[in-house]
C-alpha cells in the first residue's frame, strides 16, 4: 500500500495545482474552482465515495467579498468624548452599519475566568471592545467563536496588533460558516490609552458611535471537496477519522515587481496533494481500515478557516461519530529557516491529544521522526484548519515539517522548490499512522493533564457507537 505513494505522482499533481493557470487559488476565484474540480477528479480516479452535497464531491458555500471603510468613530465615558481619524481605523463588514451611542462591553483577554464566563445574553446589542496584545492569539480566536454565537452590535479592537485582524481593502465572509460581525481596529494612541483605563465588563457605561460604509460587495460561491473510504468493520465503520488539507492560497497580488501569482506550492499545495496521494493509496488496500476515513480539501483557510468551519458544521459522519482530524500543511520544503530538515514531522499542539503517540511507531517504521520541540508547535495550533475541529471538541492536530520556510506567503513558493522524495517519505508515515488510528477500537482523547486543552475538553462529547439520523454513513 505505501508503495502507491510515489514521488513522480506528487510532483505531477503539485505542478498543476501550483501552476500559474490556477492564479494562486484565491477564495473565491476561477482558479479555486478549477482546483476543486481537479481534486474531485482525483477522488473519482481512486474510486472513493462522494461525501458532499446531494451525492456530489462538493460542499458548495456562499461567499461574500466586501470592502468596508469606517467613516465615523466616537467613544464617550466619564465626561470624555474622543474621536478617531480615518487614518487610524480599519473596518471589516459585509453590510453597512450605523450605531449611535451603543453600549460598550470591554473584555480582558488575559482574564481567563471572565472569558469562560461570557454569555450571549450579556453581550446582546453591545459593542464588544478588547485590546489584542502579544501572545494572545489563542484567546482572541476563542473569543471570536463566542461572539459569532451572540447578537452583538460590533467588535472594536485597539492596539497596533489589532490591525492584523482587519485587512486593508477587501475581506471575505462566509455567512454559512460565520456570522459576518462588523469590526473596526483603532490605532490612535489617545483612544488606546483611554480604552485601557475603562473597567472590564459594562461597568464604565461607555457609549460608542460608529459608521461603516461598504465600497464594494460581490457574492460568489466556494467549495469544500469531500470523499469517503468506507471502513471494513460493520460497527466501527459508522465512525470517521478525517484527513484534511486546505487547497486555497492568496491569489494574485501587487508586488514591487508588478502583479504576481502567489502559487502556494508548499502552503498548501503540498498538504493537498499529500492528502490526495494518501487517499488513493488507502483506496487501493485489499481491505480498508476498520473505521471510515473522510478526505476533505478546504477553501478559505487563508481568509479565516472558513471552509473547515463550514465542514465541521456539516460533518459527513455527524459530530458524535467523528473521532479525530489529522490536518496536513506545508509538507514539501526541507530548506527551512532552521536549516535542512529532512525526515521530520511536527504535530501542532503535540501533547494536546493522544494522536501523536498513535503515530509514533508508524513514523519509526518509515524512518521519520516526530519533533518534540518544533518551531511549528503549540503556537501554531490555532492557526490552521485543525482549530475548527478543536473548537467543536474533536481531537486533532496539524501535521507539518517542523519549521518555516523562506517563501512563506510569497510569490516564490513554487512547485520546483519542493523536496518530493522527502514529502513521499512523510506521506508514507502519515498514511501508516492514519491506518492505525482508523483501526484502533480506542478513540483518541484530549490530554486532561495539559491545561491548554481545557476549553476543548469542555465541548468534547463521548465517542458515538450507533446509528443516527445525522450520521450519513450510518444510514
Predicted confidence (pLDDT) per residue in 342-385, tens digit: 999 999 999 999 999 989 999 999 999 999 878 888 889 989 99
Mean model confidence pLDDT for the chain: 92
CATH 3.50.30.30 domain residues, the chain: 67-217
Q: Is 374 left (phi over 0), alpha (psi -120 to 50) or beta?
A: beta
Grade residue 332 by pLDDT with cuts at 50, 70 and 90.
very high
pLDDT of residue 142: 74
Range name among 112-121, 258-267, 448-457 with the lowest pLDDT average: 112-121
User: At how many degrees (to 10) do helices 7-17 and 30-46 cross?
Assistant: 150
Q: Specify the fold of 67-217.
A: Glucose Oxidase; domain 1 (3.50.30)
Mean pLDDT within 409-433: 98
The three cell numbers of residue 78 are 466619564
DSSP 350: T
Domain 2-63+220-474, what fold?
Aminopeptidase (3.40.630)
Range list for CATH 3.40.630.10 in the chain: 2-63+220-474
Mean pLDDT of 407-424: 97
Helix axes of 355-365 and 420-439: crossing angle, nearest 10 degrees: 130
pLDDT in tens, 59-110: 999 999 999 999 999 999 989 999 999 999 999 999 999 999 999 999 998 8
CA distances from 136 to 114, 140, 180, 456, 459 (A): 15, 6, 22, 17, 21
Q: How confident is the model at residue 145 (pLDDT cuts 50, 70, 90)?
A: confident
Split at pLDDT 50, 70, 90, the class of 149 is confident
Listed in sequence order, the DSSP H helices in 74-178 are 112-117, 120-123, 137-147
pLDDT confidence tier of residue 113, bands split at 50, 70 and 90: confident
Examine the pLDDT at 474 and tell me if it is beyond 50.
Answer: no
- Please say whether the beta carbons of 245 and 329 come within 8 A: yes
Q: What's the confidence (pLDDT) of residue 135? A: 64
pLDDT at 453 over 70: yes
Judged against a pLDDT cut of 70, whether residue 245 lies above it is answered with yes
Res 254 pLDDT > 70: yes
Amino acid at each position: 500500500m505505501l508503495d502507491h505513494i510515489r514521488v513522480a505522482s506528487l510532483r505531477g499533481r503539485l505542478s498543476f495545482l501550483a501552476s500559474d493557470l490556477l492564479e494562486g487559488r484565491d477564495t473565491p476565484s476561477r482558479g479555486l474552482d478549477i482546483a476543486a474540480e481537479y481534486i474531485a477528479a482525483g477522488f473519482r480516479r481512486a474510486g472513493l465515495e462522494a461525501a458532499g452535497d446531494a451525492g456530489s464531491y462538493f460542499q458548495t458555500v456562499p461567499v461574500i467579498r466586501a470592502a468596508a471603510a469606517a467613516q465615523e468613530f466616537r467613544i464617550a465615558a466619564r465626561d470624555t468624548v474622543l474621536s478617531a481619524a480615518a487614518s487610524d481605523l480599519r473596518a471589516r463588514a459585509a453590510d453597512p452599519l450605523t450605531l449611535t451611542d451603543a453600549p460598550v462591553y470591554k473584555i480582558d483577554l488575559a482574564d481567563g475566568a471572565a472569558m469562560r464566563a461570557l454569555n450571549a445574553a450579556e453581550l446582546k446589542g453591545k459593542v464588544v471592545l478588547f485590546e489584542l496584545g502579544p501572545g494572545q492569539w489563542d484567546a482572541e480566536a476563542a473569543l471570536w467563536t463566542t461572539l459569532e454565537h451572540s447578537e452583538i452590535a460590533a467588535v472594536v479592537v485597539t492596539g497596533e496588533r489589532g490591525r492584523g485582524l482587519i485587512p486593508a481593502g477587501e475581506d471575505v465572509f462566509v455567512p454559512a460558516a460565520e456570522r459576518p460581525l462588523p469590526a473596526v481596529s483603532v490605532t490612535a494612541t489617545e483612544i488606546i490609552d483611554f480604552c485601557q483605563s475603562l473597567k472590564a465588563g459594562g461597568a464604565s457605561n461607555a457609549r460608542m458611535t460608529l459608521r461603516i460604509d461598504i465600497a464594494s460587495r460581490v457574492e460568489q460561491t466556494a467549495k469544500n471537496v469531500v470523499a469517503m473510504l468506507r471502513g471494513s468493520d460493520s460497527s466501527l465503520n459508522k465512525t470517521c477519522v478525517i484527513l484534511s488539507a486546505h487547497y486555497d492560497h492568496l491569489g494574485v497580488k501587487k508586488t514591487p515587481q508588478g502583479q504576481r501569482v502567489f502559487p502556494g506550492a508548499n502552503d498548501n499545495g503540498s498538504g493537498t496533494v499529500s492528502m490526495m496521494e494518501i487517499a488513493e493509496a488507502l483506496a487501493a488496500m485489499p481491505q480498508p481500515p476498520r473505521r471510515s476515513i473522510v478526505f476533505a480539501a478546504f477553501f478559505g483557510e487563508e481568509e479565516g478557516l472558513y471552509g473547515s468551519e463550514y465542514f465541521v458544521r456539516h460533518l459527513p459522519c455527524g459530530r458524535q461519530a467523528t473521532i479525530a482530524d489529522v490536518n496536513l500543511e506545508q509538507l514539501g520544503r526541507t530548506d527551512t529557516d532552521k536549516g535542512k530538515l529532512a525526515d521530520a514531522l511536527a504535530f501542532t499542539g503535540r501533547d494536546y491529544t493522544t494522536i501523536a503517540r498513535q503515530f509514533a511507531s508508524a513514523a519509526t517504521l518509515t524512518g521519520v521522526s516526530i519533533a518534540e520541540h518544533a518551531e511549528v508547535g503549540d503556537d501554531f495550533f490555532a492557526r490552521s484548519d485543525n482549530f475548527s475541529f478543536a473548537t467543536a471538541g474533536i481531537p486533532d492536530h496539524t501535521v507539518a515539517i517542523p519549521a518555516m520556510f523562506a517563501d512563506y506567503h510569497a510569490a516564490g513558493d513554487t512547485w520546483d522548490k519542493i523536496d518530493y522524495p522527502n514529502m513521499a517519505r512523510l506521506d508514507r508515515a502519515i498514511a501508516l499512522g492514519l491506518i492505525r488510528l482508523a483501526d484502533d477500537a480506542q478513540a483518541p482523547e484530549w490530554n486532561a493533564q495539559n491545561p491548554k486543552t481545557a476549553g476543548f475538553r469542555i465541548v468534547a462529547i463521548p465517542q458515538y457507537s450507533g446509528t443516527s439520523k445525522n450520521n450519513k454513513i450510518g444510514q
